[in-house]
Amino acid sequence: MNLRSVDLNLLVALNALLTDLHVTRAADRVGLSQPAMSNALSRLRHIFKDELLVRTANGMQATPRAIELAEPVKRLLRQLERLLDSESSFEAATSTRSFSVRLSDLLSRLLLPAVSKTLQEKAPFAHIDVVHYSPTQTVEALEKDEIDLAISMGLAHSNSIKSVVLMKDRMVCVMREGHPAAQRPFTMETFLQSSHLKVSMSPTDLRFVDDVLARQGVTRQVAVNMPHWLLVPHVLRDSNLLSVMPRRLAFAMVTEDLAIRDLPFASEPFEWSMYWHRRHDASQELNWLRSVFSDAAQGLADGE
């Protein structure tokens, strides 16, 4: 392929098409007309000698070749964006920068409302692409420059990754207000005799609850394992289950019909940290982004 014959704007179109899997929505995303985006798709099919998007009963679907191209194209556009942007003239109010941030559903619930409000008020043309990677994948993505920022806890990383504590937290127990355990002193015996809802993807549940109990030679009765946090309050309201969760999340999610109790055993507090690669230490854009997340964390209910 002769690179001189390739219009780089086609990569922008390809990224939009592979993100939305819809010609009209992809056109809206990049400010093209629907006919112009259709023409771009036709040219891309010719360049890559592949259909890229095919129509099915469930709408447009990416071909295996398109799926293979998706991440490299996104990464290339991010690198080009940084190369062409003038950091010395960064202005949040006019920036069209796309930031990629690693957040879990828990941290998204805590931080994104305030972050989104700040973007609307101070950077209306910028946007954030939220991804959720495992701890190992998160470090790899930072190293490969696939994400700008990560919010997580206890990541094992090299000296090329920097971090700063964003907020402190500790675990508490949540149940419905009418739960029998909420009507009397919340003892270890009550905790162990109750049935629990556990968020199986959460390292906090394992490290700060199950590991602590195991060292004492006891276990809790887990009746339900769930992969996400956001359904927890809804399940608790209609059951006699208990759930252990970070205190900040409890304050953000719990309403008057749910009760919060301290754990009946010693559990160490922990820290949520913000991680980024050293290559971006001097970036005005990313320094600004980190300040936005820091401000959002400062506005949360105390987790200590």
**What's residue 84's pLDDT?**
63
Whether the pLDDT of residue 300 is over 90: the answer is: no
In sequence order, which residues have a C-beta less than 8 Å from that of residue 188 and are 6 or more positions away? Answer: 264, 265
Q: In the predicted model, what is the mean pLDDT of the chain? A: 88
Q: What is the DSSP code (8-state) at residue 302?
A: P
State mean pLDDT over 269-295. Answer: 92
Give the up-direction half-sphere exposure of residue 81: CA atoms within 13 A in the CB hemisphere.
20
Name the region of 201 (left: φ>0; alpha: ψ -120 to 50; beta: rest): alpha
**What's residue 50's pLDDT?**
92
- Per-residue pLDDT reduced to its tens digit, 90-120: 788 988 888 999 999 889 999 999 999 999 9
Q: Indicate the SS3 state at residue 255.
A: coil
CA distances from 65 to 45, 48, 283 (A): 11, 9, 34
* Domains of the chain as residue ranges with CATH: 3-84 (1.10.10.10), 93-167+271-298 (3.40.190.10), 171-268 (3.40.190.10)
Residue 290's CB is within 10 A of a number of other CB atoms, namely: 18
Tokens of 209: 């609850």
DSSP line for 24-46: HHHHHHHT--HHHHHHHHHHHHH
Whole-number Å distance between alpha carbons of 42 and 51: 9
State mean pLDDT over 31-55. Answer: 91
- Per-residue pLDDT reduced to its tens digit, 177-220: 999 999 999 999 999 999 999 987 666 777 788 889 999 999 99
Q: If pLDDT is split at 50, 70 and 90, which confidence band does 267 have? A: confident
- Per-residue pLDDT reduced to its tens digit, 113-144: 999 999 999 999 988 999 988 888 999 999 98
